[in-house]
């Protein structure tokens, strides 16, 4: 399956809250010396703030005599975050993944070089990565109040395939839907696309400050590697890595444009 392509658009009122690329690989050793060298390299590129986070995993262990399984919490290792002082971009590293996060995303041409450089710096310290999964996740938050559309119903902004019962005429006659009756709305879909897969999730968000509503479109495009694929080292195999990332990115742009109406498209100030 392929999402029909649409022209790329840059929005003046960009609804993107976050873009994350995560590259997962087989477990590796991450000595303190490598982290220190990586901190110096990333610090020289503006990622001068470091924060270490402990992670934990829940393991379900079988027991004898037909008793129910017993969950056990085990150490998942540390995640090391290197961020810019303004918080716009962040590199996160663990023994099983590297992630590049942007919360002030402006364009793919600006985002991609920063991602590739972070992977190259990481490769330089730990060697070639045995990549198992590459994911590119876009989280768009549509806030009607920011766009001057407070009185506009969601079905005039978001396409029906994402709205579920919020869609026009889904549960009520035209014009009779009471959006305030919806305390929550969540949807999830996992599908296979040409060259990748997509986990698509949506949610109706409610502000704790003023109870205003926002609509989240969370699209995680990913590709799981097989034994014949090689794109572990961005320095020596960048063509393969970039080709995969371009596939994920092209699908993301096509999805968002098909998820919104012409009215919302215009309100986002396309440039």
Domain assignment of residue 22, yes or no: no
DSSP 181: G
Residue 170 pLDDT: 78
Instruction: State residue 8's pLDDT score.
Output: 85
**What is the pTM for the complete model shown?**
0.88
Domain end point (choices 128, 148, 177):
128
Total structural domains within the chain:
2
| Same domain as 230, residue 162 | yes
**Mind listing the pLDDT tens digit of every residue in the chain (271 residues)?**
889 988 888 999 999 999 999 999 989 989 999 999 999 999 999 999 999 998 877 777 777 776 777 787 777 789 999 999 988 999 999 999 999 999 999 999 999 999 999 999 998 998 888 889 999 999 999 999 999 999 999 999 999 999 999 888 878 877 677 888 888 899 999 999 998 999 999 999 988 888 889 999 999 999 998 766 656 555 445 788 898 999 999 999 899 999 999 999 999 999 8
pLDDT at 169: 81
The neighbour count for residue 123, using CB atoms within 10 Å, is 18
Per-residue pLDDT at 46: 95
pLDDT given at position 67: 74
**Domain end (from 128, 161, 178):** 128
Is residue 10 in some structural domain? no
- DSSP-derived secondary structure letter, 3: P
Domain holding 163, by residue range, is 138-271
The tokens describing 200, both together, are 């698509």
Return the SS3 of 150. coil
**Structure confidence at residue 237 (pLDDT):** 58
CA distance 120 to 154: 43
Do 52 and 162 lie in one domain? The reply is no
- The whole-angstrom separation of Cα 55 and Cα 66 is 31
Task: Clarify whether residues 107 and 181 are in a common domain.
Answer: no
121 and 152 in a single domain? The answer is no
Residue 65 placed within a domain: yes
The answer on 172 and 87 residing in a single domain is no
Q: Is residue 190 part of a domain?
A: yes
Indicate whether 173 and 124 sit together in one domain.
no
């Amino acid at each position: 399956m392929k999402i029909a392509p649409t022209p790329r658009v840059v929005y003046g009122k960009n609804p993107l809250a976050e873009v994350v690329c995560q590259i997962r690989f087989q477990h590796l050793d991450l000595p303190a010396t490598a982290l220190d060298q990586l901190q110096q390299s990333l610090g020289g590129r503006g990622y001068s703030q470091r924060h270490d986070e402990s992670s934990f995993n829940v393991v379900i262990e079988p027991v004898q005599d037909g008793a129910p399984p017993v969950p056990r919490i085990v150490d998942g290792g540390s995640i090391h975050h290197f961020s810019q002082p303004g918080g716009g971009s962040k590199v996160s590293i663990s023994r099983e993944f590297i992630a590049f996060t942007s919360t002030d995303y402006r364009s793919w041409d600006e985002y991609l070089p920063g991602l590739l450089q972070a992977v190259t710096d990481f490769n330089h310290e730990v060697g070639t990565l045995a990549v198992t999964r590459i994911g590119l996740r876009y989280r768009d938050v549509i806030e009607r109040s920011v766009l001057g559309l407070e009185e506009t119903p969601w079905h005039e902004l978001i396409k029906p395939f994402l709205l579920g019962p919020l869609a026009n005429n889904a549960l009520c006659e035209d014009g009779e839907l009471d959006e305030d009756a919806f305390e929550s709305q969540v949807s999830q879909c996992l599908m296979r696309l040409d060259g990748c897969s997509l986990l698509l999730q949506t949610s109706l968000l409610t502000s704790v400050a003023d109870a205003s509503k926002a609509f989240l479109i969370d699209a995680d495009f990913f590709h799981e590697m097989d034994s014949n694929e090689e794109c572990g080292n961005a320095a020596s195999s960048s063509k393969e890595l970039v080709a995969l990332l371009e596939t994920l990115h092209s699908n993301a742009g096509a999805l968002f444009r098909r998820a919104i109406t012409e009215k919302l498209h215009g309100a986002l100030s396309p440039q």
